[in-house]
Amino acid sequence: MGIKVAKFGGSSVADTIQLMKVRDIISSDPSRRYVVLSAPGKRYEQDTKMTDLLYLCHTHLVNHLPWDQLFQVVCDRFSAIAFTLGISQDILDLPKEYAKIREEMEKGAGADYIASRGEYLNSRLFAAYLGWDFIDAADVIRFDERGRFLAEPTNEVLSAELKKHKTAVIPGFYGADPSGKIVTFSRGGSDITGSIVARAAKAEVYENWTDVHGFLTTDPRIVKDPQPIKYISYQELRELSYMGASVLHEDAIFPVREAGIPINIRNTNDPEHPGTIILEKTPEGSMGVITGIAGSKDFIVIAMHKYMMTSERGFMKRILSILDTYDISFEHMPTGIDTLSLVVDSSQVGNKLQDVVDDIKRSLEPDTIDVYEDIALIATVGQGMTYRPGVAAKLFTALADKGINIRMIDQGSSEINIIIGVANKDFEEAIRAIYNAFI
Ligand code: ASP
């Protein structure tokens, strides 16, 4: 039987009721042998995530403010979970664990150590509850002395360690450097740990359990009850995430993608739902014309025209060097005959816009240069669009029917993505129009 690695995010482990759901999910399938947990997340809207509380403890610590009461909130929350799950002190000595953390804090522990204790305590608790082994991520997830993750050494150590355990709970989010100092991934990093464990276990699937039914075809704040996505390829996911759709930490893709392991996003609150499967290539016949629509607002388009631009040597190079001077990266650069547009994120440009435009005028002497602010970009993504005629026509007709003016068009060479620019004010309406035309 193959192995499944199941990672449960903060909302899936927020309290006792959630942890009991997690137990039921795990015990319903014996191939779920390795479990990776986040720290408890929010139990209700105004609640504070455990990790945020722990970072706050650290902020108090470094600013010489009293942190003890704050840390007590952390301890009380774990103790309450242990109590309601029926884990007694002789199974897991929580007061001893708290004392050790307090001691480290008194010695001036770093932010990474303190923040990681949410995952650590939660996983210790849950391992005790299940009667499973606990593997400390500090012993198997390796970072170098500069805090960079070491993929291969980790894979070696972790694979060997997993072989020693039939079942185990492993905390997400952190590992350790060669001196044993705790290092965390960036926020949301338990997704990465899950992926690393799946690779090391040679799992048949990496299940990522969260509180949604996987990826939706578009933003539910814009389209009511959008259809869920059943299958999505890594490349489609990358394109949609880049444009703002997010469920999974971006860095969680690499370990499993390399190993050819699919990711299955599932909902802890609705375990029967199949969720979304992310894989290299979506199965034949499963795909619609488009897979998803995502976008974001607030871009700037700098459009220039210069007669015979295309035959002018070094034109592009000079533009790039101007952007470099102002430390601005561009999102897209659609070109036409004698025209070129630069699409940049307005938060990157800040108050440098006029200087950039002046430099372009001076250095490139375009015949015209126009700046359009308040532009939104919308990506329509789908493997099914490749080689299929009429997709662009359908998309543009849908927008034209709503009277939406398209300010820019860019289709990547892979043909799985058409990006359009519209005015910020048309953003939501344009997404709805595209959704209704294709889905
Ligand atoms: N607990 C960490 C965070 O809130 C990591 C995670 O949950 O993935 O960012």
For the Cβ of 210 lying below 6 angstroms from any atom of ligand 1, the answer is: no
The token pair that represents 182 in the structure block: 């705790």
Are residue 237 and residue 329 in the same domain, yes or no?
no
- pLDDT value at residue 407: 86
Are residue 103 and residue 205 in the same domain, yes or no?
yes
Q: What angle do CA 298, 304, 309 make, to 5 degrees?
A: 145
Has residue 230 been placed in a domain?
Answer: yes
Average pLDDT over residues 396-406: 94
Are residue 19 and residue 95 in the same domain, yes or no?
yes
Are residue 393 and residue 425 in the same domain, yes or no?
yes
φ, ψ of residue 437 to 5 degrees: the values are: -75, -35
Nearest to 61 by CA among 18, 21, 107, 20: 107
φ, ψ of residue 171 to 5 degrees: the values are: -70, 140
CA distance 358 to 56: 45
Interval between CA 11 and ligand 1 midpoint (Å): 10
- pLDDT value at residue 88: 94
- pLDDT value at residue 285: 72
For the Cβ of 190 lying below 6 angstroms from any atom of ligand 1, the answer is: yes
Average pLDDT over residues 113-138: 98
Q: With a cut of 80, say whether residue 8 has pLDDT above it.
A: yes
Q: Tell me how many domains the chain contains.
A: 2
CA distance 221 to 245: 12
Are residue 223 and residue 299 in the same domain, yes or no?
no
Q: Which atom of ligand 1 is nearest to the CA of 38?
A: 7
One-character DSSP codes across 13-45: GSSHHHHHHHHHHHHT-TTEEEEEE-----SST
Are residue 112 and residue 216 in the same domain, yes or no?
yes
Nearest to 190 by CA among 252, 143, 121, 266: 252
Has residue 12 been placed in a domain?
Answer: yes
- pLDDT value at residue 281: 87
Q: Which atom of ligand 1 is nearest to the CA of 173?
A: 5
- pLDDT value at residue 383: 85
Other beta carbons within 10 Å of 112: 20
Are residue 171 and residue 265 in the same domain, yes or no?
yes
Chain CA centroid to CA 346, Å: 22
Has residue 284 been placed in a domain?
Answer: no
For the Cβ of 40 lying below 6 angstroms from any atom of ligand 1, the answer is: no
CA distance 362 to 357: 9
- pTM equals 0.86
**pLDDT category of residue 3 using cuts at 50, 70 and 90:** very high
Average pLDDT over residues 300-304: 93
Q: With a cut of 80, say whether residue 291 has pLDDT above it.
A: yes
Are residue 269 and residue 392 in the same domain, yes or no?
no
- Of 279, 302, 320, which residue sits at a domain end? 279
Has residue 423 been placed in a domain?
Answer: yes
For the Cβ of 171 lying below 6 angstroms from any atom of ligand 1, the answer is: no
- pLDDT value at residue 69: 96
Burial (CB < 10 A; 0-12, 13-18, 19+), residue 42, is middle
Are residue 222 and residue 314 in the same domain, yes or no?
no
Q: Where are the alpha helices (DSSP H) in 340-388?
A: 346-349, 353-364
Q: What angle do CA 263, 207, 92 make, to 5 degrees?
A: 145
For the Cβ of 118 lying below 6 angstroms from any atom of ligand 1, the answer is: yes
Are residue 223 and residue 320 in the same domain, yes or no?
no
Interval between CA 142 and ligand 1 midpoint (Å): 18
Interval between CA 212 and ligand 1 midpoint (Å): 17
Has residue 358 been placed in a domain?
Answer: yes
Strands (E), 65-167: 133-134
Domain span including residue 373: 292-438
Has residue 287 been placed in a domain?
Answer: no
Segment 50-96, tens digit of pLDDT: 999 999 999 999 999 999 999 999 999 999 999 999 999 999 999 99
Are residue 130 and residue 31 in the same domain, yes or no?
yes
Q: With a cut of 90, say whether residue 309 has pLDDT above it.
A: no
210: left (phi over 0), alpha (psi -120 to 50) or beta: beta
**pLDDT category of residue 135 using cuts at 50, 70 and 90:** very high
- pLDDT value at residue 408: 84
Most ligand 1 atoms within 8 A of CB, residue of 13, 18, 49 to mutate: 49
- Of 213, 246, 279, which residue sits at a domain end? 279
One-character DSSP codes across 221-263: TTSSSPPBPSEEEHHHHHHHHHTT--SS-GGGHHHHHHHT--E
**pLDDT category of residue 222 using cuts at 50, 70 and 90:** very high
Has residue 286 been placed in a domain?
Answer: no
Q: Which atom of ligand 1 is nearest to the CA of 49?
A: 4
| CATH number of the domain where residue 431 is located | 3.30.2130.10
CA distance 398 to 402: 7
Other beta carbons within 10 Å of 248: 25
Average pLDDT over the chain reads 93
Contact criterion met (CB below 8 Å) for 406 and 421: yes
Q: Which of 125-129, 254-258, 285-289 has the highest mean pLDDT?
A: 125-129
Has residue 200 been placed in a domain?
Answer: yes
- Of 224, 246, 279, which residue sits at a domain end? 279
| CATH number of the domain where residue 223 is located | 3.40.1160.10
The token pair that represents 337 in the structure block: 């005959």
Are residue 194 and residue 260 in the same domain, yes or no?
yes
- pLDDT value at residue 274: 95
Segment 261-284, tens digit of pLDDT: 999 999 999 999 999 999 998 887
Q: With a cut of 80, say whether residue 243 has pLDDT above it.
A: no
Segment 310-369, tens digit of pLDDT: 788 888 899 999 999 999 999 888 888 899 999 999 998 889 999 999 999 999 999 999
Q: Which atom of ligand 1 is nearest to the CA of 119?
A: 1
Q: With a cut of 80, say whether residue 246 has pLDDT above it.
A: no
Q: With a cut of 90, say whether residue 290 has pLDDT above it.
A: no
Q: Which amino acid is at 125?
A: L
The token pair that represents 178 in the structure block: 């060669």
